Amino acid sequence: MAHSDGVIGLPLRLLAREVYDKIVAIKGAANVALVTGEEKITPQRASYFVCTVEAMPVNRSFEFLAVDEIQLAADPERGHIFTDRLLHARGTRETMFMGSNIIRGWIQKLVPRAKFMQRERFSELTYKGSKKISRLPSRSAIVTFSTNDVYALAELVRRQRGGAAVVMGSLSPRTRNAQVELYQSGDVDYLVATDAIGMGLNMDIDHVAFASTYKFDGAMTRSSMPLRWHRSQAGRDGT
């Protein structure tokens, strides 16, 4: 927002909505656009565009351009979009690619003039071993990889622990926002979600538990890729 105009590409619709709301609070709704696969809010004189990476406008120049979770260039499904942005998307004054260090070597090869800045974690990420759902601490997120498992686990948590919010990419924006608020406000202490929450969604989570380490990719069930593990990180500890 230090620039006169800018665009940021984010990997998740819910995260785009979160960033959009923050910029609107500072710059005003008339100056900010939101463009995702589900929502399109484009005021006539908008200077700041918050988009999913796929929806970033490519026919307009901006002083500032950013892409979040750039390591998704290695993703078999969405990687070609992130790679295209890495190779071709630039701001006229500043360009920023944000993500895990696992992509650093490729950026050095593809964009030799890139400068790297690293920010250390505010907390230590540790492995706590396996736990039963009944023994999970408060402010926990349970990550699983199928819609059926999300609902089944949420029902189990509700029976054993009293309440759980559900977050999946397939939910409508209004429903997802309501579920996130349910957890963030403290009305429930548990969140059951797909790995979509690992793509930069900012939530008050102390503990992350994986119900499975395998995911069906449309053709076969395989172990989750390193780039996905790098995205799913808790505030204080992870399992």
Average pLDDT for runs of 10 along the chain of length 239: 96 88 96 93 96 94 96 89 95 95 91 90 79 88 88 91 85 82 92 78 85 67 56 41
Report how many domains make up the chain: 2
Confidence at residue 165, expressed as pLDDT on a 0 to 100 scale: 93
Q: What is the per-residue pLDDT for 234?
A: 40
Given phi > 0 = left and psi -120 to 50 = alpha, else beta, which region is 46? beta
Domain annotation covers residue 64: yes
Phi and psi at residue 226, in whole multiples of 5°?
Answer: -55, -35
Residue 171: per-residue pLDDT: 79
**Residue 127 domain flag:** no
Instruction: Tell me if 66 is assigned to some domain.
Output: yes
| Amino acid 140: pLDDT | 92
Residue 201 structural domain: 133-238
Q: pTM of this prediction? A: 0.72
97 in a structural domain: yes
Q: What is the pLDDT of residue 20?
A: 95
Distance, in Å, from the CA atom of 20 to the CA atom of 105, rounded to the nearest integer, reads: 31
Question: Burial of 124 by CB count in 10 Å (0-12 exposed, 13-18 middle, 19+ buried)?
Answer: exposed
Tell me, yes or no, whether 124 lies in a domain.
no
- pLDDT, residue 233, reads 45
What pLDDT does 148 receive? Answer: 87
Domain boundary among 50, 76, 110: 110
Closest CA to 47 of 32, 65, 68: 32
